[in-house]
């Protein structure tokens, strides 16, 4: 088997591609740019279509750094990056599980819970990139907002029933 074919089958590669340039990533970046446009943040990007375009570009670049570091570290440490719904009952325990899952994950080899170093490193790298390269904001706030967004997404995943995927009908 060729080396390229072996790399394509790596479980983190597909996840990285999807989370970097997939539909969900595009939606998150566009939403973030829209919020930045309304808040006029960062001011140096200005307003109008030009300012929105700069925010979208910066959002994609920041997301690429975040996802690349997150998946790279997670692959080396065998971290499961997917959210798994809890088996707990009641709002409090389920909410606690969803929030803890931002910074705690499972090791794919041992099954034990471990700090989510990949996720934390990804957001930290994205914050450093935003502050250092884009000079567009505070790195710490970028990392914090990213982790808070992950927490919010986990809460939604925990409490909203999963969508049913119906197979496409053949014509």
113 forms beta bridges with 106
Q: Is residue 171 part of a domain?
A: no
Q: Is residue 9 part of a domain?
A: no
Domain encompassing residue 70: 15-159
Q: Is residue 167 part of a domain?
A: no
The per-residue pLDDT for 139 is 63
Contact 104, 113 (CB under 8 A): yes
Our count of domains for the chain comes to 1
Spatial CA neighbour of 158 closest among 71, 100, 118: 100
Q: What is the pLDDT of residues 56-94, one digit of tens each?
A: 999 999 999 999 999 999 999 999 989 999 999 999 999
Q: Is residue 165 part of a domain?
A: no
Other residues' Cβ atoms within 10 Å of the Cβ of residue 156: 11
- pTM of this structure: 0.79
115 forms beta bridges with 104
């Amino acid at each position: 088997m060729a080396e390229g074919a072996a790399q394509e089958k790596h479980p983190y590669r597909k996840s990285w591609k999807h989370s970097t340039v997939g539909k969900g990533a595009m939606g998150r970046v566009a939403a973030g740019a829209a919020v930045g446009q309304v808040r006029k943040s960062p001011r140096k990007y200005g307003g109008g279509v030009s300012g929105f375009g700069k925010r979208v570009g910066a959002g994609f670049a920041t997301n690429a750094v975040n996802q690349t570091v997150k998946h790279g570290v997670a692959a080396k440490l065998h971290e499961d990056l997917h959210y798994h719904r809890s088996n707990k009952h009641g709002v409090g325990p389920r909410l606690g599980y969803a929030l803890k899952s931002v910074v705690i994950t499972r090791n794919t080899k041992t099954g034990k819970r471990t700090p989510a170093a990949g996720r934390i490193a990804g957001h930290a790298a994205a914050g450093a990139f935003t502050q250092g390269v884009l000079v567009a904001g505070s790195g710490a706030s970028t990392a914090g907002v990213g982790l808070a967004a992950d927490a919010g997404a986990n809460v939604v995943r925990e409490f909203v029933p999963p969508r049913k995927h119906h197979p496409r009908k053949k014509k």
